[in-house]
Amino acid sequence: MRETKWERLPALLLAVGTLSTSQIPARADGGLTARNFQQLYQQIRPQPGESRWLDVPWQIDLHAARQKAAAEGKPLFVMSGGGATAIGPC
């Protein structure tokens, strides 16, 4: 009897789940507390200069962006994903 790839999926997921949880070390300090939250929060926030694309004055109105680009003689960069407009329902 030939086994399909879908018949092996539950065993694979079980193996991956077991391996991934066994690699997480136990924390001796008790994990996240109100006392250490602020320090950890500051470490995971984007640092100054780290995300320079946030400093760009992005235009969300395509018509207004086209008019501004034409008036300034500049090219237009349109970012879109999933076949939808750049700003829209996710």
Is residue 65 predicted with pLDDT exceeding 60?
A: yes
Other residues' Cβ atoms within 10 Å of the Cβ of residue 62: 14
pLDDT tens readout for residues 1-58: 566 666 766 666 666 666 555 455 555 666 778 888 888 888 888 888 888 887 888 8
SS3 helix, strand, coil % of the chain, rounded to 5? 45, 0, 55
Is residue 77 predicted with pLDDT exceeding 70?
A: yes
Q: Which helix (H) or strand (E) holds 35?
A: helix 34-44
The model's pTM is 0.38
CB 86 within 8 Å of CB 80 = yes
DSSP label of 52: G
